[in-house]
Amino acid sequence: MILLARFIPAGRTVVTFASGWLEMPWRRFIVYDVLAGFVWASYAALLGYFGGKAFERQPWKGLLLAFGIALTVTAAVEGVRWLRGRARD
């Protein structure tokens, strides 16, 4: 959840408050928060660098690609979570 919250506007703030309220262990929160920050920053920097070159003349195509990638990552993570939950039951 912490990882996905980086990609959702205001998600990081909500997850931070929820983690504290639900008394998530500090070390676990830090590990996921650092990982989420690294993934988000890498995604944004690489997309900006390569997207600027590839979509210089048609920026709307870059926006569609970025949105598609974000949806794919979210769907993959949620799919894995769903399968793991189903396997436990």
- What pLDDT score does 3 carry? 65
Residues 30-58, mean pLDDT to the nearest whole number: 84
Mean pLDDT of the chain: 83
SS3 content of the chain, % helix, strand, coil (to 5): 85, 0, 15
What is the pTM for the complete model shown?
A: 0.52
Q: Considering only CA atoms, which of 36, 47, 29 is closest in space to residue 4? A: 36
Domains in the chain: how many in total? 1
Radius of gyration of the chain (CA): 16
Phi, psi at 58, each rounded to 5°? -135, 75
With tokens 């709307």, the residue in question is: 60
Q: Considering only CA atoms, which of 49, 37, 29 is closest in space to residue 4? A: 37
Please give the residue range of the domain that contains residue 13.
2-88
Q: For residues 64 and 22, what is the distance between their CA atoms, to the nearest angstrom?
A: 36
- Structure confidence at residue 2 as a pLDDT band (50, 70, 90): low
